[in-house]
Amino acid sequence: MADAVVFDQVVKTYRTGFLGRGAGIPALRSVSLKVPAGGVFGLLGPNRAGKTTLVKLLLSLARPTAGTITRLGASLADRRTLARIGYMHENHAFPRYLSAGELLAFYGGLSGVPGEQVGAKVEQLLVRVGLADRRSEPIARFSKGMVQRLGLAQALLNDPDLLILDEPTEGLDLGGRQLMREVVREMKAAGKTVLLVSHVLPEVEQLCDSLAILVSGKVVHTGTVANLLRDPRTGEKRSLESALRSLYEKGQAA
């Protein structure tokens, strides 16, 4: 099976100063990694590691300074692949005057869901994320956890082949976290790909088949979770927190 996403020697430098003539700020430094299709891939790293920039490039919200990116078997120039991606942002900026049903209907149209299917799809997803009884309420009345549930429904509207989840359990209660895990496992069972950006280590350990770790804009580790948990010096199992701490320290010192 082909890889869902491929980054090949990708560099991203943000220009500063008047008309971008100042010194550049490197966000990604020759990043190469592959996200296998049909699984759950974790993207980890400390703050300012480059994770957000990598996702922005993948979604064509920014352009790479150098290198190439393949998205669902096509180059970034093929915008049609964006219709096959679902994205759940960490901090949603939904219009708060809209109701949950109105918001999903609006995004359904933007996502290319056929008009005759939007209504049924909206109802199905509201039930799935536990918001069916709040369908007509304005988002302004929603708690952080309810907005997160709504964001998940929005990301699933187009039945994506690639689902990108950016800190998806932020603000969720135990039931919401369980819902998120169920959705991720359902996507995997259906042969879809999930890219999970998260600081919640137990969920990464439970859900991810493989992962990449970014530090200071560089990939310092890729591989399976099981491999990461094996201490390279002793061969003994270590905690995910211990493994990440070691890699973060080495990456920042390099």
Per-residue pLDDT tens for 60-77?
Answer: 999 999 999 999 999 999
Range of the domain at 158: 3-253
Per-residue pLDDT tens for 151-177?
Answer: 999 999 999 999 999 999 888 899 999
What pTM was estimated for this model as a whole? 0.92
Residue 162, strand partner residues: 85, 193
Q: How many domains does the chain have?
A: 1
Please give the C-alpha separations between residue 191 and each of 68, 185, 201, in angstroms, as whole numbers.
25, 10, 24
Average pLDDT of the chain is 91
User: Order of strands, edge to edge, in the sheet holding 25-36?
Assistant: 25-36, 3-14, 66-71, 74-75
CATH number at residue 212: 3.40.50.300
Alpha helix (H) residue ranges in 49-96:
51-58
How far apart are the C-alpha atoms of 254 and 164, rounded to whole Å?
29
How far apart are the C-alpha atoms of 123 and 157, rounded to whole Å?
11
